[in-house]
Structure 1
Amino acid sequence: MAHDLEKPLLRLNSPKHTARRPSGGGGSQTRQFSTATQSGAHGPVFRQLRSVLDRQDAALQLRADPSSLAPERLLVFEVTGSVQNFVSAVSKIMGLEFAGEEEIAGDDLDESPEFYLLVPQLGALKQIVSLWERWERGEDLPRGYAPWRDLFLQLRKVRPWGPADRITPQNREYFLSITDGAPDNEPVRIEIELVFRPGPEASRLAENEISTMVVESGGHVISRSRQQAFAYHAVLADVPAAEIRRIANLDRNSLAGADRISAIVPQSVGTHIAATDSLDVGAAPVLPGDSPPIAAVFDAVPMQAHPLLTGRLLLDDPTDLEARAVGQRIHGTAMASLAVHGDLNSPSSPISRRVYFYPVMYAPAFGDEIFDNDRLIIDVIVEAVLRMRSNVGAQVVVVNLSLGDKTKPFSGKISTWARAIDYLAFRYGILFLVSAGNAGDSLTIVDYADQSAFHEANSFERAGAVFRALNAVKAERRLLAPADSVNALTIGSWHRDACQETFPGTSPFSPYADHEMPNVSSRLGSGLRRATKPEALFAGGRQPVRFDPVATPSLILRSHPLPSRYWGMRVAAPPVEGVVGTHFTMGTSAATALATHTAHRIFDALENAYPQLIAPMPLTERAVLLKALLVHSASWRDTEQFIRSIIDPAETIHHETWRREVCRYLGYGFVDPDDAIACTADRATMWATGTLPGQGSLTFDIPVPATLAASADAREIRATLAWFTPIRPGHLAYRAVKLKIDSLEQNSRQTAGVNTTSSQPTNSQSESGTIIHRRWRDARIGNAPTGSTVPIQIQREKDQGTPIDEAIPFGLAVTIEMPGAVQVYNEVRANINIKPRITVRVPG
């Protein structure tokens, strides 16, 4: 049923404080070794270390050997699983710094191995050896040092952080490719991330040492940054190609062997979009009002004088990137157009305010739009947020980042860019909407001998062949930084648009003619600790595919890169031969900008219906409410059945496993923006905001419409909870705060006539992020006497690590839906205490 703007979202009645429900059980037992086994495996390392430590020149001797455990050198203790309270035990050793922990890929012996990173001074090394020797002799360790005993029992390897840790195989390959054939002295710009040291003096010494090494290699430092809030310290440097080749070859005498460095990565490179097929502008919608903006776009310099953008942007360009934007302003113009208007092929959906626009890229005379290559992108984003908050963007709660770093696909470890986004989101109450990124690499079709056989198959079989090819390369299509952010919403691209013209040819063609699916180029989840990513899929244009005419004998399928009036999102375009008009674009950048437009429409609808509630609402609560409502209407639309038929045709895989695989592609599902804006006669969506103190618990009573008890028709209850978490950089428990929606009790499910559905991510995967989306569905008569309610309980779990004192704001959305039951909305509304203001729209 179509949404009805005269049926606004409903404000949930006030909650009551309730007793917490018990949390889930602990993890499985980690593997431990005997003392004798460990003494044989690791004793030689510690005995060799002791023999050197007893010398007067111990520090010099240890540092002269790059393979030894040495003062000020990052040490790796790889263990079979988590060691409880190890971080606090580290703090008891004078001169020992905890530098991080990370999960390692599991193997046949250990499901979740980890490693700990420590930076010791000489005295700390001596004490670690003393603890080992005492444990090896079977003696008790001093009070408070018991976690060291567990570490020794679980130790798989102890070693220094080395060149192979600093440069990933992918970056080694990248560095070798860009320096292939280059003169030895040709400069290559790289980002050098230092081991973060909390003390300013240690940080200064480390930076000076690395700067000196850069100069000695023949290079020079361009920029530097240190951000205590999210444990980031890096320098941007030009280094000769000869040194880059040594780095790529893991030469210990190059920067790859420098103890102060944690990682060496390529300079951030933004993604670009294609935009083609010009049309005229058409009529421009009414201009927005003068209220302060609530949405922002950080992107490439737009063409703000375009008729569709004039008077609709508040451009803030403190570094004057506009003066450098002498090329075609495609990306920023398209994203601004989508954020302001949505898809121009769709019905007009004007927003109430101008959009704050902060340029972070520009269009050079030739080539794609680029970042300012003299600055670290982390600094640019932090500066943009700080300036926005102190400027005309002080009320902004949504920031569009249709950007990604194509040199930094997600590798299981949170990216530095994502850490910055996570900190800024929590500190300033901002919902960042981030594109998942696009992948343009080819797919190999193995099900058919040639193109003719492929095209002769039915649409289901063709779609299955495409998906099998995509599934075969899923590991190579991971999210691009900063899409791994835990506080942001990551947006994927739905194979959907509003184009009405039919393409007259046979190639390119739609890969999924009869199925709701992501675009074949949309990058895939999951996120940190297997969290649901991307969370939502918004329309990003129906991207067609085509066969490579040259590749033989294999059938090589490529996503068609050029949008057109037959497929894509219509947006404002820079002038072509002096004529300003519109053109088309597609992909995750477009989908993300459409999500930003949708967030603004949700805000406008809430502000119109509840001005007395929205005006005083804290910015963070506004942001997390929009976060919840953007995802709330998402669903898999039965696509999981198609995906499962490919990945589990015999239906033998455990239900949690195949749901995780579906989630990798779909997240929480597809979002139709109109479903997020208002209700319908047969669907009532309710919302609430508030805060949860440490281990706090609230219950909202959801009124059950009498209609549900009178029919056995299909019905659904869904609930979405969103929040921002403080972060703990370097810790496995990076997400410091976890909230939870408890399962409906059996009597509540009976009252509403619903049950848990498998058409959603697993609870464990959903609860790994900062948005939880639960669905209960069935088709049976409920046991609902007049005035019945279903309690939805939310609670804050025990904080990870050091308890967080402040209360955490949350946004909650709950929907009751029964297709065709036209009394649902009115019956729910009758039991809501704060009624929405309704604006009746007059046709014409």
Structure 2
Amino acid sequence: MPDRPLILFPSPERADREHKTPVFTKTVRPSFGRQFTRLQPSFNLLKNAFEQKALKLQQSPTGINPEFALVFEIIGTVDNFYTAVKNTDGLEWIFDSEVEPFNPDDDFYQVDKDSGERVDDSLNGKLYCVMSNQQAMAQLLSLWQRRQNGESDVFKRGFAGLRDIFTHINDIRKWDARDRIAETHALDYWRESLEFDGDSPVPFEIELFFRSDETKRRNAVEAIRHEIQSLGGRIIQECVIGEIFYHGMLVELPRVSIEGLVNRYEEIELSQVDDIMFFRPVCQSMFVSATDSEICTSAEEAPLPTGDAVVAVFDGMPMQNHRLLRGRVIVDDPDDYASAYESKYRVHGTSMVSLAIYGDIKRNEAPISSPVYVRPILRPKQNGFDKITECVPDDSMFIDVLHRAVKRMMEGDGQESATAPNTKVINLSIGDPVRQLATTMSPTARLLDFLAYKYNILFIISAGNHPEIVNFVDKPFDELKALNISQRSSIFGETIKANQRNLKILAPAESLNGLTIGALYDDFTNANETARFIWAVDRGLPSPVSAIGKGYRSVITPDLFYYGGREFIRGKFDGKIDWVESLREPGCLSAAPYGTGDADGCAFSFGTSDAAAQITHEAAKCHDVLNQVFLAQTGSKIPVEATAILLKAMLTHGASWEPIAEKLALAMGASLKQLSKWLGNGVPNISRVIECTKERITLIGLGALKKDEGNIFRLPLPVDFSSRLMKRKLTVTLSYLSPIAPNKQTYRGAQLWFNIDDSGKGLVPARQNTEWQAVRKGSLQHEIFIGENPIVWNDDDLIIKVNCKEEANKIKTAIPYCLFVSFEVAEGFDVNLYADVSAKIHQRVQISNN
């Protein structure tokens, strides 16, 4: 136990939540009459589409009522439209999403709220997607016609959203063939498959509009089955996860049919099936199983772990008998991946498990004290004549594999009991390169958010790699080599900014409840440049391959950046540059197969996978520290329901931009106050959170809040700040897991946030390390405040207030949260902050227990 352990806050005081001041903006919209005239052509098109489909369905023996997914492109938002849709027979809400801003015109534009003059700024818009049958569409048109004719009370209680949306509509249309591939790159995937996969059938996924009615889901599947079979294909798998509004199918088509889709996409009947929301490539995450490793020469083995697994790794099959892993892993392989997984190809899983256990071996840290639960979800695959990759199997759906794996771990599978129900962290160092961040949340991210909230699990997710960044650099190798490292950093920074649309985080890294990790270009090796191999950017900066943020709805993502290793760049024959593909130094050192896999080796690697696995290692260490704190101060271990959020906050609490802020701002051409896009919440310093010092104290608060409630935590500071300049810093980290609304663009079910109240005395008046507009958008709020001017304090309390409000959902239960608060003063003052504050806290705990 440290000499100065972390301290638990007394129970918080109950209060009402604080309310934000609404922002007033005025958008001029057309009159009801003008809208009716303007939209009449669109209504006629929809009316004809319904009639034509009704005629077509008359030939069908099922007699299905014709339905379309209708797309409302609107200016602004209409919050009560969702309620109106729920109350209208024949309408079913599908989803809503943000769209590119609209240019103003004579119908829609903004005016200055003070002068009333027109402002030609772009207008924010949204897309609402609603499933409608012919009768519901006719009812909508009738209501709007009656309103246009001057009738009053047309829209009864609960239906005002139908009226209000009408004046916001920019266009109304049906979901069509182009929508089904707009953000998924399906055509590019099909073209590449034709080029590289020979005569093999091509698998891909179809995501359907989720229908709550099982009969409608069955009808949709049969309609798609008919078209797939007519093209000579087959359905491999179907997956329905109602909790996240997901319905998908894995299908396969022969080469000739794929050629038809590529060359005549909109003419193929499959592209016109109205039940299809998206065509998607299969998950293409893959890792080359190179064997350029060295014989393992690690130090003597440490004691074996005990107890239940705290962390899990979902990855490739590890070498469980490797001397560094033996006795430290629990492999659960219900799908028998091991039988076709030769030891020499067990590269990525072995590396990730090793990094979770030891961190970077070069760092010489002790292994974690608990075993690691491993669920293999990758398999080896022949990729070309002489290349083996570890990849997500293309005969099963990645989302289904993840769902079954977590459910088996936490609940059990069939008659079998749960395999690792006490696990609190899952490492997922796998990203899908064909699913970059888009306007809708990916199904895998929705699944992780749902599972995190349901089971109180922290998913630690790699942000994804973009090694192709070197292809965008327009300087040849010799020119780069002649530049100093700061100049090279700026070249890569400019390249990243210019190509950022193609370098976004990879699904499921946009997860709201998870902790997404980017990679630093740093490790613990001492390699040097050579005439042939040079560094890309300055040591410690974000790695050029690391996917960039922000996340969904501009949430700060990645959350943290950690050691991802370095790799050299080299010149190619054409003078351009490429990464040096080697498992030798530099990079992050971990266990690996050696030779044919019959010997224990070690190898170096780099990227966001390594960074995420090392954060998982730190999570296990933090878990041990928290257990000690709770046992010492409460007599019990960490509360089970709070473990995941405690770890999430603790891993983040020591993070800051400080080590690299100036270098990064220079490289990216950014302001020091606007680095969250490139650095998230910063680089974590776990040692700062494991124990306190004489000048720094860290306290932990726990609570749970319902709608419109608040909690107040009081931090006593019996320090005289009035007589001298004394540098002081306050760091506050709030963490929670939010329920989600999978079919709403708002998505986050509840918002929690904190405010600081120092009674206006300016104790820590300056924010640093963050963009204040962004910190409240996710499920993690991390802020640092500083000050040093003399102030009259009078032994006052600093107040931290946590607030809760509904966002996308009705909150039925209290939302658990945790709070880490650190206060510190600069060294060199005659202040024992830890002793003074902990004594005050101890007094209050005693009083509250009486």
> In terms of mean alpha carbon deviation, does 464-473 or 621-630 score higher?
464-473
In structure 2, how many angstroms separate the alpha carbons of the residues matched to 1:220 and 1:27? 54
- Is 1:331 aligned to residue 343 of structure 2? no
What residue is the counterpart of 1:480 in the other structure?
A: 506
In structure 1, how many angstroms separate the alpha carbons of the residues matched to 2:718 and 2:354? 41
The counterpart of 1:720, out of the listed 720, 723, 733, is: 733
AA aligned opposite 2:784: R
Per the alignment, in what secondary structure is the counterpart of residue 361 of structure 2?
A: coil
Structure 1 position 241, deviation (Å): 2.4
In structure 2, how many angstroms separate the alpha carbons of the residues matched to 1:268 and 1:417? 10
Please report the TM-score for the alignment, with normalisation by the length of structure 2.
0.89
Per the alignment, in what secondary structure is the counterpart of residue 307 of structure 2?
A: coil
- Is 1:319 aligned to residue 335 of structure 2? yes
In structure 1, how many angstroms separate the alpha carbons of the residues matched to 2:300 and 2:628? 23
What residue is the counterpart of 1:367 in the other structure?
A: 388
- 1:176-215 equivalences in 2 (<5 Å): 176-180=191-195, 186-215=200-229
The counterpart of 1:570, out of the listed 589, 611, 616, is: 589
Structure 1 position 444, deviation (Å): 6.8
Per the alignment, in what secondary structure is the counterpart of residue 434 of structure 2?
A: strand
What residue is the counterpart of 2:162 in the other structure?
A: 148
Structure 1 position 630, deviation (Å): 0.9
What residue is the counterpart of 1:442 in the other structure?
A: 469
AA aligned opposite 1:693: K
| Alignment check: 8 A CA contact 1:276 1:585 kept | no
The counterpart of 2:426, out of the listed 399, 416, 440, is: 399
- 1:224-373 equivalences in 2 (<5 Å): 224-248=238-262, 249-272=264-287, 276-326=292-342, 327-364=344-381, 367-373=388-394
Please report the TM-score for the alignment, with normalisation by the length of structure 1.
0.90
In structure 2, how many angstroms separate the alpha carbons of the residues matched to 1:716 and 1:674? 17
- In structure 2, the CA distance between the partners of 1:385 and 1:24, relative to structure 1 (3 Å rule), is farther
In structure 2, how many angstroms separate the alpha carbons of the residues matched to 1:30 and 1:614? 59
| Alignment check: 8 A CA contact 1:397 1:620 kept | no
What residue is the counterpart of 2:836 in the other structure?
A: 827
The counterpart of 2:815, out of the listed 808, 818, 841, is: 808
What residue is the counterpart of 2:398 in the other structure?
A: 377
AA aligned opposite 2:535: S
> In terms of mean alpha carbon deviation, does 734-743 or 24-33 score higher?
24-33
The counterpart of 2:133, out of the listed 118, 121, 137, is: 121
AA aligned opposite 1:150: D
| Alignment check: 8 A CA contact 2:756 2:799 kept | no
What residue is the counterpart of 1:76 in the other structure?
A: 71
| Alignment check: 8 A CA contact 1:538 1:672 kept | no
In structure 2, how many angstroms separate the alpha carbons of the residues matched to 1:277 and 1:27? 62
Which string of whole-angstrom CA distances, capped at 9 and with x for unpartnered residues, describes residues 404-430 of structure 1? 111211113200110110110001110
Calculate percent identity across the aligned residue pairs: 28
Structure 1 position 335, deviation (Å): 0.6
- In structure 2, the CA distance between the partners of 1:438 and 1:52, relative to structure 1 (3 Å rule), is closer
> In terms of mean alpha carbon deviation, does 301-310 or 773-782 score higher?
773-782
- In structure 2, the CA distance between the partners of 1:666 and 1:48, relative to structure 1 (3 Å rule), is closer
| Alignment check: 8 A CA contact 1:11 1:835 kept | no
What residue is the counterpart of 1:133 in the other structure?
A: 145
- In structure 2, the CA distance between the partners of 1:339 and 1:537, relative to structure 1 (3 Å rule), is same
AA aligned opposite 2:303: L
- In structure 2, the CA distance between the partners of 1:816 and 1:510, relative to structure 1 (3 Å rule), is farther
| Alignment check: 8 A CA contact 1:621 1:690 kept | no
- 1:7-156 equivalences in 2 (<5 Å): 7-26=4-23, 28-47=25-44, 59-60=54-55, 71-109=66-104, 110-140=122-152, 141-144=154-157, 145-156=159-170
> In terms of mean alpha carbon deviation, does 770-779 or 436-445 score higher?
436-445
Structure 1 position 331, deviation (Å): 0.6
| Alignment check: 8 A CA contact 1:78 1:157 kept | yes
Per the alignment, in what secondary structure is the counterpart of residue 610 of structure 1?
A: helix
- In structure 2, the CA distance between the partners of 1:63 and 1:820, relative to structure 1 (3 Å rule), is farther
Structure 1 position 494, deviation (Å): 1.3
What residue is the counterpart of 1:678 in the other structure?
A: 691
- Is 1:6 aligned to residue 3 of structure 2? yes
In structure 2, how many angstroms separate the alpha carbons of the residues matched to 1:257 and 1:264? 12
Structure 1 position 736, deviation (Å): 0.7
What residue is the counterpart of 1:416 in the other structure?
A: 443
Structure 1 position 562, deviation (Å): 3.2
Structure 1 position 143, deviation (Å): 1.5
In structure 1, how many angstroms separate the alpha carbons of the residues matched to 2:53 and 2:514? 48
Structure 1 position 758, deviation (Å): 4.0
The counterpart of 2:537, out of the listed 505, 512, 519, is: 512
Per the alignment, in what secondary structure is the counterpart of residue 760 of structure 2?
A: helix
Structure 1 position 549, deviation (Å): 4.7
- 1:565-604 equivalences in 2 (<5 Å): 565=585, 567-577=586-596, 578-604=598-624
> In terms of mean alpha carbon deviation, does 676-685 or 171-180 score higher?
676-685
- In structure 2, the CA distance between the partners of 1:558 and 1:413, relative to structure 1 (3 Å rule), is farther
Structure 1 position 646, deviation (Å): 5.4
In structure 2, how many angstroms separate the alpha carbons of the residues matched to 1:215 and 1:526? 41
Structure 1 position 582, deviation (Å): 1.4
In structure 2, how many angstroms separate the alpha carbons of the residues matched to 1:166 and 1:629? 41
AA aligned opposite 2:518: G
In structure 2, how many angstroms separate the alpha carbons of the residues matched to 1:16 and 1:40? 57
Per the alignment, in what secondary structure is the counterpart of residue 123 of structure 2?
A: coil
- In structure 2, the CA distance between the partners of 1:503 and 1:50, relative to structure 1 (3 Å rule), is closer
Which string of whole-angstrom CA distances, capped at 9 and with x for unpartnered residues, describes residues 20-53 of structure 1? 2222414634452223432332112324656888
- In structure 2, the CA distance between the partners of 1:118 and 1:283, relative to structure 1 (3 Å rule), is same
Instruction: Give the CA RMSD over aligned residues.
Output: 2.8
Per the alignment, in what secondary structure is the counterpart of residue 75 of structure 1?
A: strand
Unaligned runs of 5+ in 2: 60-64, 105-121, 412-417, 846-850
| Alignment check: 8 A CA contact 2:583 2:605 kept | yes
Per the alignment, in what secondary structure is the counterpart of residue 302 of structure 2?
A: coil
Which string of whole-angstrom CA distances, capped at 9 and with x for unpartnered residues, describes residues 666-708 of structure 1? 0010113333322333322221222112221011111325275
Structure 1 position 121, deviation (Å): 1.9
What residue is the counterpart of 2:765 in the other structure?
A: 755
In structure 1, how many angstroms separate the alpha carbons of the residues matched to 2:4 and 2:357? 24
- In structure 2, the CA distance between the partners of 1:395 and 1:258, relative to structure 1 (3 Å rule), is same
In structure 2, how many angstroms separate the alpha carbons of the residues matched to 1:586 and 1:803? 43
Which string of whole-angstrom CA distances, capped at 9 and with x for unpartnered residues, describes residues 364-384 of structure 1? 465111223221111111111
| Alignment check: 8 A CA contact 1:522 1:587 kept | yes
Which string of whole-angstrom CA distances, capped at 9 and with x for unpartnered residues, describes residues 84-112 of structure 1? 20011112221111111111022433432
Structure 1 position 648, deviation (Å): 5.0
- In structure 2, the CA distance between the partners of 1:678 and 1:543, relative to structure 1 (3 Å rule), is farther
Which string of whole-angstrom CA distances, capped at 9 and with x for unpartnered residues, describes residues 644-666 of structure 1? 445557x7xxxxxx845x21210
AA aligned opposite 1:376: M
In structure 2, how many angstroms separate the alpha carbons of the residues matched to 1:47 and 1:561? 59
> In terms of mean alpha carbon deviation, does 526-535 or 359-368 score higher?
359-368
| Alignment check: 8 A CA contact 2:481 2:534 kept | no
In structure 2, how many angstroms separate the alpha carbons of the residues matched to 1:72 and 1:51? 13
In structure 2, how many angstroms separate the alpha carbons of the residues matched to 1:115 and 1:588? 33
Per the alignment, in what secondary structure is the counterpart of residue 171 of structure 2?
A: strand
What residue is the counterpart of 1:493 in the other structure?
A: 519
